[in-house]
A and B are shown apart, each in its own frame.
Chain A
Amino acid sequence: MKYLCLVYLEKEKLRVVPDRECKASGDGFKKSGLLIAAEALQPVETAATVRVRGGKVSVTDGPFAETKEQLAGFYLIEARDLNEAIRVASKIPPAREGSIEVRPVRELMVDC
């Protein structure tokens, strides 16, 4: 089962957790076979939301919702179940400054 762990941080705290520490934790997860991909994201100002309504594509700036915290990065992990995913998420360094959204990845329903 794959889980996407989304990292949320308040704007002022975006740089509080050192990049070096995040790199090290990512490397650690990778070594134990838990990590598929992890990336940090540019600040929310660079975000865009794309919607398609009635076949028409609309693009708006910013995130889809106004909250104090913003998406600051993600970890795509492979875990046995939600408990293991939560365990991994709780070790992601910014968990202590912001929140991590853990979301099971949905398998695309495609006929093969």
Chain B
Amino acid sequence: MTTIDPVQEAVNEVYVTHSRRVLATLIRLLGDFDVAEEALQDAFRAALEQWPRDGIPGNPRAWLVSAGRFKAIDGIRRRSRFDALDDVGERAEVGVLDAAAWADEESVEDDRLRLIFTCCHPALAPDAQVALTLREVCGLTTEQIAQAFLTPAPTLAQRIVRAKAKIRDAKIPYQVPTPAELPGRLDAVLRVIYLVFNEGYAASTGAQLTRHDLSAEAIRLGRLLTELLPEPEVLGLLALMLLHESRREARTSPAGELVRLDEQDRSLWDRQLIAEGRRLVEQSLLSRRFGTYTIQAAISAVHAEASTPADTDWSEIVGLYDVLMRNEPSPVVELNRSVAIAMRDGPAAGLQLIDAILKRGDLVDYRLAHAARADLSRRLGRIADARAAYERAIALTQQAAERRFLERQLADLQPPAPAPSSPSSQGEV
């Protein structure tokens, strides 16, 4: 057994809790991502040298920011003796004059928001926003991100390099958006977080563990944003992620098969996450400025409240889908609403609505539309229709676990009479 040096351990701990905050402030002071990252590494190297000798400073974060800034400016000065003073040098000099600014607690807190909004700037490609956020805000390594997204590491590294170059060349500012711009810009941030979450949640094959980490990272980001900017939709998104996350254990069988919401073992649902999610939903709804994430979370919360599938308050769910349709109408929302209506008023009512969507030409290539159609046809005893719809859904499904699920449903189709109608819902798993 090796003994761990207590100071080394303390430095590691400081790294975990403070490195992203220190980086966020260094980017503001030095005006360049790469220079700031190098400064961050230098600062921790200095800590490893000096803390064992001088003891751990009272405010390690301030110490690290000072050390990082000093190292960066020192490096620039040394280089500038040989090269002409470049842009970075000029900006860092400004940083020196601005030295007092970093100590201001409020602007230091804002630095983390600045970092988030800069990484999620809409002028960057969406996949670059995701990569940059995970790299800079969450501190994942390029290799970790590449692995989680099943992307070759050099591709991902290049994506990050290009994004940083664009921030520099197009002069994307290190700013929290103005109140007028906030709604649109916040949408971009929430989209990135939800995308990261779904990347980790939807995957059911392959590198499961790494992908689970993505959901955890997204929830961590959601919590951070809730702390820094408690806008209703920020709370709504965090609630939505927590409520989905609460069902993680129940939604796959030990063999890795998908388990539908109505067939899940509800004792496996994480009550603590549900309680937290519900609190956040209520808080957001009270603001009266909520949006689609909050409504989706509210729907998820209604499911979470039902101790058995039969207890589900489908009227409430239909009502929430009505709100969602008014807020952000889309064929997919309409499909989910149709399924909820089928649960409330019977399969025929739902099937009629789904057929109307398909007849319009919407969702004809959307696997879940055909899967829902198949399920409702089955419950109405229209076996031939159900079979055709399952086959169509299977043909459109890319994901292995989902395809196996649909194939089981197809195999279970009994030519004779309709099975006793058991409540089931598509989509919500």
Contact = CB atoms under 8 A, between A and B. Distances in A.
**Do A and B truly interact?**
yes
Interface stretch (A5-13, A49-57, A67-75, A80-88): A80-88
In the complex, which range does the number of interface residues on chain A fall in? under 10
Nearest to B121: A82
Interface string B137-176: 0000000000000000000000000000000011111010
B333 interface: no
B175 A82 contact: no
B85 interface: no
A81 B121 CA distance: 13
B170 A83 contact: no
B123 A81 contact: no
Interface string B166-204: 000111110101000100000000000000000000000
Contacts of B175: 81, 83
Nearest to B171: A81
Contact of B170 (A80, A82, A87): A82
A104 B173 CA distance: 13
A1 interface: yes
In the complex, which range does the number of interface residues on chain B fall in? 10 to 19
A87 B172 CA distance: 13
Q: Which of A81, A83, A104 has the most CB of B within 10 A?
A: A83
Interface string A40-60: 000000000000000000000
Contacts of A81: 171-173, 175
Contacts of B177: 83
A83 B121 CA distance: 10
A5 B19 CA distance: 38
Interface in B82-135: 121, 123
Nearest to B177: A83
A83 B172 contact: yes
A81 B167 CA distance: 10
Contacts of A86: 123
Contacts of A82: 121, 123, 170-173
Nearest to B185: A83
A83 B169 CA distance: 13
Contacts of B172: 81-83
A104 B169 contact: yes
Interface in B252-269: none
17 contacts: A1-B171, A80-B173, A81-B171, A81-B172, A81-B173, A82-B121, A82-B123, A82-B170, A82-B171, A82-B172, A83-B172, A83-B173, A83-B177, A87-B181, A104-B169, A104-B170, A104-B171
* CB-based closest 3 A-B pairs: A81-B173, A81-B171, A82-B170
Given A82-B170, A83-B173, 13 more contacts: A1-B171, A80-B173, A81-B171, A81-B175, A82-B121, A82-B123, A82-B171, A83-B175, A83-B177, A83-B181, A87-B181, A104-B170, A104-B171
